[in-house]
Structure 1
Amino acid sequence: MALVASASQFSAVAHVLGLTAAILVIVWVVHYGGGADLNSDNTDLIFNVHPLVMTLGFILVIGEAIMAYNTVPSRKTVQKSIHMLLHLLALGLGVLGIYAAFKFHNESQIPNMYTLHSWLGICTICLFGLQWIFGFFSFWFPGAPPMTRTMLVPLHATAGLAIFLMAICTAETGLMEKGGGGPGAETRLINFAGLMILLFGLFVSLSTALPRIMS
């Protein structure tokens, strides 16, 4: 048997990395941030909704949606349905996460859209929304002609992966902004969370370039 890695093997590693990143972010938000509450009078709790939702509900869900297209053991139509619905869920949660960031800034009287993180974030969510609309109308309803769909698949997949990697970059810049207030346990936790997110993005990307079954 040839020692050739499959998409399923890389996606299995990605699942572990994603779960680890999620746990680290939850610990950060709950233990160091005091929790998350979009309707709290404490603006810090409002902000905490942002990293929680954007990591667990945007980046991880997008990664799972990308991997589902190649690794879900089912018919292609089922894979496509899961792929589309997970991306729709990620879009909704991404909008919620951005709303939380704007609400935190407005209630804390902090200017909006002045950091690289915020610029990347807005560009990413806008491109992601356009990508989803493009995919829905091209591949679902009303759907482009078969020959056109075949031509669009590589473009759609490449653009989707690029947007996903933009989301990873956005998360990394956001974690750098928060830091931990200097050397210490919180900073190490944030650094490890950022590392897990980066590795998750790497393994998701690798899984898209490999065959589904070992040869």
Structure 2
Amino acid sequence: MVFFLFSQVLHPLLMVIGFILISGEAILVHRWLPGSRGFKKSVHLCLQGLALACGIFGIWTKFHGNDGIVANFFSLHSWMGLICISLFGAQWLMGFMSFWHRGEARSVRMRVLPWHVFLGLYTYGLAVATAETGLLEKITFLQTNKDVQKHSSESMVVNGLGLSLALLSGIVILAAVSPRFQAELMYPESKKMTTL
């Protein structure tokens, strides 16, 4: 019983902290972190690895509840979560192989970069959408079982959290796709040329 309650708290906490907060910070590393490109890339990779570890552990806690693995895959939230963790893991491996490993030619890395950025932002948006469906699923179950009233403070907290996550994701994605950021990411030497 204690582990069931523990998993009910840990799953959403780890998923939001890992996939939304830490992953959002990792996306913004190239924007706000001072230092060389190599340093920014290593911090980005480490933060995304930490986010992935939080996500895997968060899913593990959900699977070790009373219901087991199969019983947890009944909703849109669970299927979106499975797709999200799979894409996130593949994206992390692709980033590690293409950008951290220096064996590939620069031209190959530059061709992969737009896809890496697109899939990263898509996965981040999917993580936020998955969190939103998880919040909706949880509050619907509580309201259906009459554990929580429709116009209660708990409902307001869930709605506020959902709106905050949507706002945060908009800010992160806007910062990541702003034209200034794209020019620095795609053509780092252009910044040096404009300052001359």
C-alpha distance in 1, partners of 2:154/2:45?
36
Gaps of 5+ in 2: 144-149, 185-196
Name the count of aligned residue pairs. Answer: 173
Percent sequence identity over aligned pairs:
36
Deviation, structure 1 residue 110: 8.1
Residue 42 of structure 2 contacts residue 100 of structure 2 at CA under 8 Å; is this kept in 1? no
Shift of 1:101: 1.3
Structure 2 SS opposite 1:104: coil
Return 139-148 or 116-125, whichever deviates more.
139-148
Give runs of aligned pairs for residues 109-128 of structure 1, distance below 5 A: 111-128=71-88
Over the residues paired in the alignment, what is the CA RMSD in angstroms? 1.9
Max Rg structure: 2
CA distance in structure 2 between the partners assigned to 1:105 and 1:68 by the alignment: 39
For the residues of structure 2 that align with 1:143 and 1:198, how far apart are their CA atoms? 38
Using structure 1 for the length normalisation, give the TM-score.
Answer: 0.75
Q: Is the 8 A contact 2:121 2:173 kept in 1?
A: yes
- 1:105 CA drift (Å): 4.7
Contact conserved, 1:66 with 1:204, CA < 8 A, in 2?
A: yes
Q: Which runs of 4+ in 1 moved over 6 A?
A: none
Answer 1 or 2: which has greater helix percent.
2
Tell me the equivalent position of 1:186.
154
Paired residue secondary structure (1:114):
coil
Q: Larger relative contact order (C-alpha < 8 A, sep ≥ 6)?
A: 1
CA contact (8 A) 1:161 1:205 kept: yes
Structure 1 unpaired stretches of 5+: 1-39
Indicate whether 1:70 and 2:31 are aligned: yes
- How do 1:190-201 and structure 2 match up within 5 A? 190-201=158-169
- 2:165 and 2:32 map into 1 onto residues whose CA distance is 20
Could you tell me which residue of structure 1 aligns to residue 188 of structure 2? none
